[in-house]
Amino acid sequence: MSKQVWYIKKRGSYLPSSWQGWLSYVPYVAYIVGVLVYVEVNKDSFWLAVFTTIPNWIAASAVMTWLARQRS
């Protein structure tokens, strides 16, 4: 039984190669944009925005990279 590939490795990154790969990007992009909107609406200071945005984006990217490695 062959494993279906959702992502292909391209230049050190992973790109979706199937509808499942593209569909898995929807919550990722929604989360990234949601964090940005949250920070923009609730911005009290520059450093609070930085310390809210950066860790969330790093965590989301790590999860997405892990998923892509598992499904490629």
Q: 3-class DSSP state for residue 26?
A: helix
Tokens of 11: 């230049």
Residue 36: inside a domain: yes
Q: What is the mean pLDDT of residues 5-16?
A: 90
Structural domain range at position 62: 7-70
pLDDT value at residue 62 = 95
pLDDT value at residue 42 = 85
Residue 45: inside a domain: yes
pLDDT value at residue 4 = 86
- Please tell me the total count of domains within the chain: 1
pLDDT tens for 15-67 read 999 999 999 989 999 999 999 999 989 888 888 888 989 999 999 999 999 99
Residue 1: inside a domain: no
pLDDT value at residue 30 = 96
State yes or no: pLDDT of 2 exceeds 60: no
The per-residue b/e assignment along 45-55, b for 16 or more CB within 10 angstroms, e otherwise, is: eeeebeebbee
